[in-house]
Amino acid sequence: MSTLILNLDFGDCPPPKKATEGNHKHQRFIQRQRRIQRNLKQKQMQVPAKPSGSGHSKFQNKGGTLSTNNKQKLHPLPEPIRETPSQKNGIEKPLSRKVSTVSWLTPAPSRKTSSVSVASKVDLLSEFQSGLCPLPPARTLPPAAEKSCNKKMVALDCEMVGTGPKGHTSSLARCSIVSYNGDVLYDEYIRPPCKIVDYRTKWSGIKKEHMVNATPFKAARKEILKILLGKIVVGHAIHNDFKALHYFHPKPLTRDTSRIPILNSRAGFPENESISLKRLTKQLLHQDIQVGKSGHSSVEDAKATMDLYKLVEVEWEQQLARSPPSQE
């Protein structure tokens, strides 16, 4: 019987060509990554720590000085790649098309924050502020600022003297205009175009010496109408003042405190009755006006009229909004 001898070599087979090429690529990738890591470490060691204090400090570098505003942001170092069991055996599996993102390869995040992040910041801020002590009340505006905020509302009051036959005609002799806050915008003695027969000093407070340097009627009227133009004018029985000025103001821009039922009811007077400015001021503002022998003061009366209007301003304006006056 012949003997059959088989020579079998059970040694390790050489790896496939594709696997060997993949293994070389992986080694080159690891070497390149380690080289980048070393370069980043060297750069970090060269940059000194940021000194405390001014934000305009400069960093020293080989090429010169770099300001903190022009310094580039350094990204964190990538984590070392762990070898899989297949790589330890010298065989690497083919890479899939989905490659995991590496921190040092991804671009820097955009400075624009999303709406979600903004909302979360607002919630955190409101939660933080809720635990703080309440802020003190806001300070009131100075008189100059308040004056500019209420330029479209003024109070008017005039004083008359008697002209014409037996002094029965009322002519303008003084006019005062105050702002919403009581600042005097105009206050002048006015010389009527006709001869004064009765000064009515007991009520008007006008005397003969007041007419020496008084402003002529035409010039005064021009200045007054310039102030009243386009504004809401408050007055008590203001139709008499407009008549002395030879002027008709639009009704939607006129507020007559002698014809406000709300004021009368608050003061305890009949709503349809015309109550004097003196009585309303005494009853509602607890002030005494038009007292003494020197006569009335148009500035004092104009301020009292504006204060009465303020008492019922909101309610009165709401009523006018529901039923506006005619355009006559």
Would you list the DSSP string of 34-63? HHHHHHHHHHHHHSPPPPSS-TT-EEEETT
Average pLDDT for 160-176: 94
Q: Are 59 and 68 in contact (CB under 8 A)?
A: yes
pLDDT of residue 97 exceeding 70: no
Average pLDDT for 85-106: 47
pLDDT of residue 142 exceeding 70: no
Q: Give the pLDDT score at 10.
A: 53
Residue 35 domain-assigned (yes or no): no
Give 86 or 191, the one with higher predicted confidence.
191
- Strand pairing partners for 160? 172
Of the candidates 322, 278, 268, which has an alpha carbon nearest to the alpha carbon of residue 300? Answer: 278
Q: How far apart are CA 64 and CA 224, in angstroms?
A: 72
Q: Give the pLDDT score at 3.
A: 56
Q: Give the pLDDT score at 86.
A: 47
Helices (H) and strands (E) in the chain, counts: 11, 9
The pLDDT tens digits of the residues spanning 2-23 come to 555 555 555 555 555 555 555 7
- Strand pairing partners for 123? none
Give residue for tokens 């608050």.
Answer: 266
Residue 173 domain-assigned (yes or no): yes
Residue 118 domain-assigned (yes or no): no
Strand ranges in 166-311 using DSSP code E only, listed in sequence order:
169-179, 184-191, 196-198, 215-216, 232-235, 254-256
pLDDT of residue 185 exceeding 70: yes
pLDDT of residue 170 exceeding 50: yes
Residue 39 domain-assigned (yes or no): no
Residue 134 domain-assigned (yes or no): no
Give 195 or 121, the one with higher predicted confidence.
195
Confidence of residue 37 (pLDDT cuts 50, 70, 90): confident
Measure CA of the first residue to CA of the last residue in the chain; give whole Å: 144
Residue 116 domain-assigned (yes or no): no
Confidence of residue 226 (pLDDT cuts 50, 70, 90): very high
Q: Which helix (H) or strand (E) holds 85?
A: helix 85-88
Number of domains the chain contains: 1
For 178-297, where are the alpha helices, taking DSSP H only?
A: 201-204, 217-228, 238-244, 261-267, 277-280
Residue 98 domain-assigned (yes or no): no
Q: What is the mean pLDDT of the chain?
A: 75
Q: What is the CATH number of the domain that holds 255?
A: 3.30.420.10
Residue 43 domain-assigned (yes or no): no
Domain holding 202, by residue range, is: 150-322
Tokens of 131: 């635990």
